[in-house]
A = this chain, B = another copy of it.
Amino acid sequence: MILTLDNHLSLADVKKLIDRLEWMGLRVVRDTDSQGNVILVVVQGTDKQTRLEAFSQLPGVVEVKHFDTPYKLAGTHVHQHKTVIQCKDHKIGGKKIVVMSGSCSVESERQIMETAKQVSAKGATILRGGAFKPRTSPYDFQGLGEIGLKYLQKAAEANHMLSVSEVMDPADIDMVAEHIDILQIGARNMQNYSLLKQLGKVKNPVLLKRGLAATYKEFLLAAEYILNAGNPNVMLCERGIRTFETYTRNTLDIAAVPILQELSHLPVIVDPSHGVGIRRMVAPMCYAAVAAGADGLLIEAHPDPDNAMSDAQQTVSPETLGEIMQHLAPIAQAVGRSMV
C-alpha cells in the first residue's frame, strides 16, 4: 500500500502519522514519488484484504493505492524513475556507462597500483580488487584481508577512481566501508540475509551479485533486504547462472538486463568475466551487455593476465580493455548511452 501525503503536512505531522501506522502493526518506509510528493510505503502488515478506504481517512493522506509486488522497494511501483547512484563525483545508472575493472585479487601494493593506472588510462572509473576472497576450497588463497583493502583504496585514490571490493562477514562491514567506496556482495552470499540486513547501517553503494541459481524474483528480494534495511544505493549485477553447459564457467543471462531494468529501478551491471569465464569471450559479451541496456560492466583485467593469482583464464590485458572501450562507444550510442 502506498499513501501519498498532502504537501502541506509538517514534518511533525508526518512523524505522527508514521507512529500511528506503526502502532497499528504496520511497517512503513518514507519515500518520495516521481512527482516529488512525500509517500509512505507500507511494506509489511497489509494484504489484499486490507480495506484502503480506512486509510484514506487518516489526516494528511490524499491518496491510497494498493500494490502487491513482492519487491516493494526494489520494484517500480514506488520508484518509477531509474535510480542514479551518486558516489563522490561519480554517477552510476545515468546516461554514461560505468566500467569497473581491475584484478580478481589484490596481489600486492605494486600490482594493484599498476593495474589501477593502466585500467584507468583505458577509461575504467571504478577499481575492483578482492581482499576477502570466497574460495571453494579452504586451501586456496583467501585474499590479503585488510591490508589488501588499504592498497586498493590507495590505488583507487591515486587514479581518481572509486573502489569496489567484496565483504563476506557482517562483522567486517564497518571496516571495509571505511576503506572502500562500493561494497560487493558475492554470488555465494546473495541469500546470506544476516549480511544483507547489516548493510543498512552504512551508506556505501552495494554491488549485489546474482546467486548462481537465483531467479529474478529472488535476486530482487535480496536487494529488497538491503533497501529495507535502510541502504537505498543498490546495484544489481548479472554474473552468469549455473546450467548444464560446462564449456563456459557460467551461462551469462543477457536477458536479465532488460528484464531487471523493467522490473526494477536499480542500476544493472554485467560481469562478463565470471559470466563466461573465457578471456576471448569477454569482448563480445561486453558488447552484448551494453547493446541489451546494461548500466555498467565489471571486467577483470591485470597487467600480466596469464600470471594473475586467480581467474587468470578470464582476465584480459589493459590493451584488450582499451579495444573493448573503443568498440563499445558506437554501440552505447546506438542504444542512447555513452561511454564518457
Name A residues whose Cβ lies closer than 8 Å to a Cβ of B: 27, 43-44, 70, 72, 134-139, 168-172, 188-189, 191-195, 197, 212-213, 215-218, 221, 224-225, 228-229, 241-248, 251-255, 257-259, 262, 275-276, 278, 280-281, 284-285, 287-293, 327, 330-331, 333-335
Contact = CB atoms under 8 A, between A and B. Distances in A.
A276 B252 contact: no
15 contacts: A43-B139, A170-B170, A189-B191, A217-B247, A241-B243, A248-B255, A252-B255, A255-B276, A255-B284, A257-B284, A258-B281, A285-B292, A287-B292, A288-B289, A331-B331
A276 B335 CA distance: 20
A257 B288 CA distance: 10
What is the oligomeric copy number?
A: 4
Contacts of A44: 139
A280 B252 contact: no
Contact of A137 (B189, B221, B258): B221
B191 A134 contact: yes
A271 B221 CA distance: 25
A224 B137 contact: yes
Nearest to A287: B291
A216 B247 contact: yes
A258 B244 contact: no
Residue from the set A138, A229, A245, A280 with the largest chain B CB neighbour count within 10 Å: A138
A70 B246 CA distance: 16
A255 to B, nearest CB: 5
Given A192-B188, A254-B285, A139 B27 contact: yes
A192 B192 contact: yes
Contacts of A243: 241, 243-244, 251, 253
Contacts of A280: 258, 262
Given A242-B244, A243-B243, A330-B333, 8 more contacts: A70-B139, A136-B218, A137-B221, A168-B192, A189-B192, A217-B247, A287-B335, A288-B289
